[in-house]
Amino acid sequence: MGPMRRLTPLLVCAAIALSSASAHAFFNDDEARKQVAELRLVVEALTQRVDIVSRNQLDFANQIETLRADVARLNGQIEILANSLESAHKRQQDFYVDLDNRLRKLEGTGSTGTPEANQATPAAEAKPDPQAEMRDYEAALGLLRASKLKEAQASFEAFTAKHVKSPLLPNATYWLGLSLYQQKQHATAAEVLGKVFATWPTDPKAPDALLAQADALVGAKDVSGAVKVLETLVEKYPTSPVVETARARIKTLAPKKK
């Protein structure tokens, strides 16, 4: 019995120690589980954020692609419109040139009311050659129709210098002015176009020349001068086909006069 009494306290102590160790181990497991659970929540939250960011990036990428497609489409439309505008300008130029050709063929070499053209040719002067005049005129018009503006300018200048008595002179001067205008030589173009009205006021080209002169003056930053020219057109040629265009431009330009 003596030895058993001595073992009992030891057993009790061992049991207490085991109980404490078990409790401590159990406590550590609970903490670990708690931490694992918390970490899982953090991971899930991070995963959700990654998913959101990924979706946003995908949305942004899709939006960028859409914008790029829109830009490409708009650039295509701009190019189409630019080509259409250029074609329309070319057609308009061709129309006026062809119309001019037809009118001149109908008129032949008759007088346009130019005093110089109606004067008798002195015996000492070389007799005008209508065929040569028409040939030179048509050649200059062909250059203008082909948009060879510098060459057309030179050809019309040569024509006006060579055929000073030609009934085609008002038209040649008009087209010379337009070739200068299309080269953005606005001040010179306005001066040349002004000669048509000043020299041949009864010629059919005079109203058109005034309208073109106004455009050239606007290009030269002389809005007041352009308005005055347009007002002259309206006053002198009230039945002209271009008079309504002149009136509309006056309304547009008048408030800009300084």
Supply φ then ψ for residue 221, to 5 degrees.
70, 25
The dihedral of CA 209, 210, 213, 214: what is its sign? negative
pTM assigned to the model: 0.55
**pLDDT of 216-247, one tens digit each?**
999 999 999 999 999 999 999 999 999 999 99
Domains (range + CATH), the chain: 85-107+131-183 (no CATH), 186-258 (1.25.40.10)
**pLDDT of 118-173, one tens digit each?**
444 443 445 678 888 999 999 999 999 999 999 999 999 999 999 999 999 999 99
**Which residues, including other chains, have CB under 8 Å from residue 192's CB and lie 6 or more apart?**
173, 176, 177, 180
| The pLDDT of residue 117 is above 50 | no
**pLDDT of 170-219, one tens digit each?**
999 999 999 999 999 999 999 999 999 999 999 999 999 999 999 999 99
The confidence score (pLDDT) of residue 94 equals: 56
The confidence score (pLDDT) of residue 81 equals: 55
The confidence score (pLDDT) of residue 189 equals: 97
**pLDDT of 62-90, one tens digit each?**
777 677 666 655 655 564 455 445 545 55
- Would you list the DSSP string of the chain? -HHHHHHHHHHHHHHHHHHHHHHHHHHHHHHHHHHHHHHHHHHHHHHHHHHHHHHHHHHHHHHHHHHHHHHHHHHHHHHHHHHHHHHHHHHHHHHHHHHHHHHHHHHTT---S-HHHHSPPPTTSPPP-HHHHHHHHHHHHHHHHTT-HHHHHHHHHHHHHH-TT-TTHHHHHHHHHHHHHHTT-HHHHHHHHHHHHHH-TTSTHHHHHHHHHHHHHHHTT-HHHHHHHHHHHHHH-TTSTTHHHHHHHHHHHGGG--
Contact of 121 with 154, CB cutoff 8 Å: no
CA separation for the pair 75, 78 (Å, rounded): 5
Contact of 222 with 210, CB cutoff 8 Å: no
